[in-house]
Structure 1
Amino acid sequence: MKQNRNSLYIFSITLVAAIGGLLFGYDTAVISGAEESLKVYLIDSLGLGSLAHGVTVSSALIGCIIGGLVSGYFATKLGRKQSLILAAILFIVSALGASYPEFLFFTKGEPTLSLLLAFNFYRIIGGIGVGLASAICPIYIGEIAPADIRGRLVSFNQFMIIFGMLVVYFVNWGIANGETLEWINDVGWRYMFASGAIPALLFAALLFLVPETPRYLAIQNQDQKALAILTKINGPSEAKSILDDIKQTITTNVSSEKLLAYGKLVIVVGILLSVFQQFVGINVALYYAPRIFESMGAAKDSSMLQTIIMGLVNVIFTVIAILTVDRLGRKPLLITGSIGMAIGMFGVASMAFSNIIGIGTLVFIIIYTASFMMSWGPICWVLISEIFPNKIRGRAVAIAVAAQWAANYFISSTYPVMMEYSGGLTYGFYGLMSVLSALFVWKFIPETKGRTLEQMENMWRKKQGASKSKKAI
């Protein structure tokens, strides 16, 4: 019962797990302040071109794809908690290694191709940590959270991702503020990367204070431990009922359960959720925001200010999603967000076709990002954490998250080429994807508001049974 719920304990566990989300945002955005210095130190000095620069800036994404792919294995074999500890260790290694890639094998101030490869290696290590965290943090929170507030708690992880990006923008600015360009190119960029070790160490330390998820413990036949945690979260009267529901869905060994045991649809839905979240173009808006605003005629300082405004809007509308997801439901927010994104992107496209530069473009971009942050940003992660059945959740989430990072890489890397061809068509494409995302949600996404994870599993089992019956007929 709700009156027996330990809300402080639930929030404390969620907050610790969501630090993984903060590191997700921190690690992916820290490169924004350091990329020009890296270009001077490791690219220009070696006589390499824009391709090497682009690969170096985006190398962490390669690690993200790898981390997403292996997250299912680690979540199943090590458990959710131990996998997050592994991610924290990778964050620490990456932060320190990227800040001083010369460690042991190279001489500072003497850039070589091998040093460039070493730097990219450390960034890929961090990317693997991001891939693990991006998959396992929502799983952990989803498996800990009571059904009626699960959406809110998993959405908090997205808030921490956006907050982590905002924090690192200010950290980078604080490090560079008042310093000479020579100092930034020599030392400042190292401090930017090294700063990530501080929240990573905090994350690793706090993880030792939180429990493993009760659903994973039940899968491992550690029922008494699972019951103890469920009791601490939900109270004794509800804990036994929840554990009974969990045990009813676990009839086979989790590692021997086939991935398609509940049908292809649930896997396809998870993959398409992830792909649409990226194909609507959000990371173009996040990664290239200053460049977009500069291309519209804004000065450098003004473009950075507009980026900060956009960042604050992102935080505000993510909070709106957190406050409404368990009240309004997942589907209404996703469809509303898709419509808002379509309006924003078609608006930007029309202004690009008309060659109109002005405040209107900023307004349309803010409409677009605000719509994403109140819908697809957090709620995609909520659904990924809750739609998959217990026995295949780790592996299924791994596939969905790997698809998401691959789509991220594809959309981010094709943006400059598409813009060279036509800015209007580029933004029009993202608008079209927003429309298709709304249709996809309306047709295929089940409403999960208030349902337990076990109820979701039974729903997919029934759908699979109905599908087999149709085929037999």
Structure 2
Amino acid sequence: MHSYDNKVTKFSLIAAFGGFVFGLDAANISGAVRFVSAQFQLDALEQGLVVSCALLGVIVALFFTGSLVERFGRKSVLLGIAFAYTLSSLISSLAMNYPMLVAGRFIGGVAFASLTVSAMYIGEMAPPKTRGRFVSINQLLITLGSLVAFVVNYFLVKSMAGIEWLNESNIWRFMLGAELIVNVVWIALLVTIPESPRWLAKKRRDDDARKVLLMTLPAEQVDNTMLEIQHSIHQEGDVPVLKQLRQLFSGPMRFVLLVAVAYAVVQGGSGMNAVLFYAPTVFEQIGATVESSFMQTILLGAVAVIFTLVAIFSVEKFGRRNLTLVGLTIIVLAHCSIWYGFNNASYSIDEQSLTVIAEQGVEVESLGSLIGTTYANDVELKAVLAERFDKSELPLISGAVINASIDIDATFVLLGLFAFLAAFNMSIGPIMWVVFSEIFSNDVRSVALPFAALVQTLASFSIQQIFPWQLEVMGAASTFLNYAFVALAGLVVMGIFLPETKGKSIEEIEQDLVKAS
């Protein structure tokens, strides 16, 4: 590998390291939410807000991201984001009440804009032949961060029985505080990367831009690349943010915008954030114990990492379009499998199940009157439990009751969950950011990527906010069937409209899409 390849790899990994922090945060809150819910006595919608309020922070941040990256540069904004992550970790882990926790999570959401900025940075830094691979690093680091957090959470839960000072009232603080070390490391690494050459050229710092290109391209390609960038910038001029927004919604850009919005809605609305941010809760629905549910999340994390690597090493071979369509097809089938498994489950309370529940430390006196009853679905069972346990008890005992009473062929659910994770992480998870980094022209990219990310965030927010409520009111079967319909709609739209951008420069893609619009 040439030195410039090594440097592109290094710079891309550092820029995308915010994805690792994002993955840590997502998996940490998935483990912490049951303990937080019990301590602060949260209802289903409040649980959803603890998880999803981070995305409210994203929404706020994305309104300003375009202006900030244009004014201060991609690197400076990434540094600001890293400091915001650090502040979020401190406030969240030290939260004394529900509002303080929500505030800390909200600040962390502002930092989630790193995914957009790093995709922008990598898209402008990497050469066309490897851009898809490097932008996909974002997703790889998200999955690696999630896997690390799942492992840490599992060992924290497992250690509660042997460590006196670690208990159900403080374990979530260690989960949420684990990000601090990683945040400091990221800040130190970001200091070492250069600014985007395209941003430098836009600021008429051509000598600095050329120096960066010499680090990331063969010397013989630098002059031509510099000429392409300068020509593109000359044609576009220094476009103010408001003018960029008007241009983004203008006639020539409507086709590009349609593709981006459709992709964002499908990626955000097909259920990944329900599985990622509520992973132990999802496994609890098929009867896993607390410790077992955390162990299963490690397997989920490993699958996500493996299939993100598949995407990274195949995106330049098979292309963005093919991977997207194959992935969405598998996602539809996976969600249907999950729906089938939950739809055929039942829940029975008898003497044996009460004994098993008691062995898991749950007081069973209030369940005695339920002996001999069978419930056709999880909604009926959860409604009965909610009548007998208060909000400080219900999050901690519901898993034990489901575990002892459920009659389910878990194969369909587990197969569906792992197939979904695999398909998402080899296709629409990383490929969306690749597509976003390529399809928008230079003159609108600084506002277009945040806008597309905003749409994806709104879709993700709706999933995270209502997932606990969906489980409580609609049940697991109907919830995952809804995700199947979203993925199916996306498959149809992407099959009709998604172009192939593999191997083309950003300027070539811009010309092709203008012709198609």
Using the size of structure 2 for normalisation, the TM-score is 0.81
Name the SS for the 1:263 alignment partner: helix
Is 2:448 the partner of 1:396?
yes
1:28-56 superposed Cα distances (whole Å, 9 cap, x missing partner): 22222333443344x13xxx644434323
2:239 & 2:282 partners in 1: Cα distance? 47
Cα deviation, residue 268, structure 1? 2.5
1:5 & 1:245 partners in 2: Cα distance? 23
Change (3 A) 1:350 1:97: closer
Name the SS for the 2:332 alignment partner: helix
Question: Aligned partner of 2:249: which letter?
Answer: L
- Which structure 2 residue ranges, 5 or more long, are not aligned? 346-407
Name the SS for the 2:329 alignment partner: helix
Residue in 2 that maps onto 1:21 = 19
Change (3 A) 1:423 1:21: closer
- Which structure 1 residue ranges, 5 or more long, are not aligned? 102-110, 465-473
Change (3 A) 1:186 1:421: closer
**Which range moves more in the overlay, 296-305 or 74-83?**
296-305
Residue in 2 that maps onto 1:237 = 220
Residue in 2 that maps onto 1:215 = 198
Question: Aligned partner of 2:176: which letter?
Answer: F
Specify which of 310, 328, 335 is matched with residue 318 of structure 2: 328
Residue in 2 that maps onto 1:85 = 79
Residue in 2 that maps onto 1:254 = 239
Residue in 1 that maps onto 2:105 = 123
Question: Aligned partner of 1:117: which letter?
Answer: P
Question: Aligned partner of 1:243: which letter?
Answer: M
Cα deviation, residue 118, structure 1? 2.7
1:192 & 1:289 partners in 2: Cα distance? 14
Residue in 2 that maps onto 1:439 = 492
User: For 1:183-332, what aligned pairs fall within 5 Å after superposition?
Assistant: 183-185=166-168, 187-250=170-233, 251=235, 252-255=237-240, 256-257=243-244, 258-260=247-249, 262-332=252-322
Cα deviation, residue 5, structure 1? 6.3
1:359 & 1:221 partners in 2: Cα distance? 59
Question: Aligned partner of 1:259: which letter?
Answer: L
Specify which of 314, 323, 340 is matched with residue 350 of structure 1: 340
Change (3 A) 1:459 1:285: same
Change (3 A) 1:369 1:50: closer
Q: How many residues align?
A: 445
**Which range moves more in the overlay, 430-439 or 274-283?**
430-439
Specify which of 423, 428, 434 is matched with residue 371 of structure 1: 423
- Aligned Cα RMSD in Å? 2.2
Question: Aligned partner of 1:253: which letter?
Answer: D
Q: Which has the larger radius of gyration?
A: 2
Question: Aligned partner of 1:271: which letter?
Answer: V
Name the SS for the 1:446 alignment partner: coil
Is 2:68 the partner of 1:74?
yes
Residue in 2 that maps onto 1:145 = 126
Specify which of 22, 28, 31 is matched with residue 29 of structure 2: 31
Question: Aligned partner of 1:98: which letter?
Answer: S
Residue in 2 that maps onto 1:104 = none
Name the SS for the 1:298 alignment partner: coil
1:219 & 1:444 partners in 2: Cα distance? 31
Name the SS for the 1:96 alignment partner: helix
Name the SS for the 2:159 alignment partner: coil
**Higher RCO (C-alpha under 8 Å, 6+ residues apart):** 2
Change (3 A) 1:344 1:37: closer
Change (3 A) 1:4 1:361: closer
Name the SS for the 2:444 alignment partner: helix
2:43 & 2:303 partners in 1: Cα distance? 35
Cα deviation, residue 172, structure 1? 2.9
2:289 & 2:155 partners in 1: Cα distance? 21
Change (3 A) 1:272 1:69: farther
Cα deviation, residue 175, structure 1? 4.2
The percentage of counterpart residues that share the same residue type is: 31
1:452 & 1:307 partners in 2: Cα distance? 39
Is 2:88 the partner of 1:94?
yes
1:79 touches 1:212 (CA, 8 Å); kept in 2? yes
2:279 & 2:156 partners in 1: Cα distance? 21
2:466 & 2:34 partners in 1: Cα distance? 21
1:276 & 1:412 partners in 2: Cα distance? 14
User: For 1:414-453, what aligned pairs fall within 5 Å after superposition?
Assistant: 414-419=466-471, 420-421=473-474, 423-453=476-506
2:487 & 2:332 partners in 1: Cα distance? 5
Residue in 2 that maps onto 1:105 = none
Change (3 A) 1:51 1:85: same
Change (3 A) 1:442 1:70: same
Using the size of structure 1 for normalisation, the TM-score is 0.88
Cα deviation, residue 4, structure 1? 6.5
Cα deviation, residue 182, structure 1? 6.0
1:328 & 1:214 partners in 2: Cα distance? 28
Question: Aligned partner of 1:126: which letter?
Answer: G
1:296 & 1:323 partners in 2: Cα distance? 34
Question: Aligned partner of 2:239: which letter?
Answer: V
Cα deviation, residue 95, structure 1? 1.2
1:335 touches 1:442 (CA, 8 Å); kept in 2? yes
1:456 & 1:406 partners in 2: Cα distance? 27
